[in-house]
Amino acid sequence: MSAIDPRAVVSPSAKFGNCVQVGAFAIVGDEVELGDGCVVEPHAVVSGPSTFGRKNHFFSFSIVGGDPQDLTYTGQRVRLEVGDENEFREFCTVHRGTIKGGGVTRLGSHNLIMAYAHIGHDCQIGNHVILTNGAQLAGHSVVEDYAGISAFCLFHQFVRIGAHSYIGAGTIITQDVPPFSLIVSERQTRCFGINKVGLERHGFSPERIGVIEKAYRYLLRSKLNTSQAVEKMRGTLADSEDVQSLIRFIESTTARGLTK
C-alpha cells in the first residue's frame, strides 16, 4: 500500500509499486513509474516519461525527469531510466534524453546526486557514483562506476569519466578522464593583501589599517618565512591587538596550512 499525501499532485498515468511515499505538494507527472519503496519528499518534482527501480529517494525541491535543455527538443517522446536506491538531494536536476542523443538518459543504482548538482540530457551514469554539491554534467556525458566528482566541477559535453576516478573540487573537465585517476585543476589561490575596503566599511581608522598593512607586508612581501614574519610582528607591532589576533590565528593554523 502506497502513502500519497492528499496535497500532492499525481498524474493518473503514474504507476507505483508497493510502499511508495509521496509527500505534500510533491508532483509526480505523466508516465512516471516508481518502484517499490520509493520516497518523494514534499515539493519534489518527478516528471516523465521515466522509470525508477526500488527505493529511490527524491528530496524536497529536487527536479528529476525534466525536459532536456536543448534547442532541438520540441516535445519529442524521450525518457529517463533509473535503477535502484539512488538519492536525489535538494535542488538537483536530472533531464531526460534527446532524439539525437538516443532518446534516453540513464542512471544505474546506488548513486548520490547531491544538492544543486545537474545531470544533462542523454548522460549515462553507472553505479555508486557521487556527484557532490553543484557538480554540473553537460549533455551526453558518461560517468562509469564508482567515480567521485567533487563540488562545483564542470563537464563539457560528450566527455567520459572512467571508473574509480576522483575529480577534485572546482575542476573543469574538457577531455576524457581515465579510470583510477586523480584529477584536479591547478591551485593558484593566494593572498593579495588586506581587505582594506571591508575594514574601512567596518569603521577601522586609517592608522589601524596602516598597522595591519605593515604586518601583512612582513607576511607576504618580505623574504621572511612565516615564523620569521611572526617574530618580526611581535618585535615591532606588539602594541596592536589586531596584529596580536593575526599572530594567534597564524600560530593556530590547521594542518591544511596558511593561504599566502
Residues with active-site annotation = 121-122, 139
Exposure string of 51-73, with b = 16+ CB inside 10 Å and e = fewer, is bbbbbbbbbbbbbbbbebebeeb
CA 243 to chain centre: 37
Going by C-alpha positions, the residue among 127, 116, 132 that lies closest to residue 167 is: 132
**C-alpha cell of 244?**
596580536
| CB 25, CB 43: distance < 8 Å | yes
DSSP one-letter code for 60: T
Question: What is the Cα–Cα distance from 63 to 95, expressed in whole angstroms?
Answer: 8
Question: What is the Cα–Cα distance from 254 to 237, expressed in whole angstroms?
Answer: 24
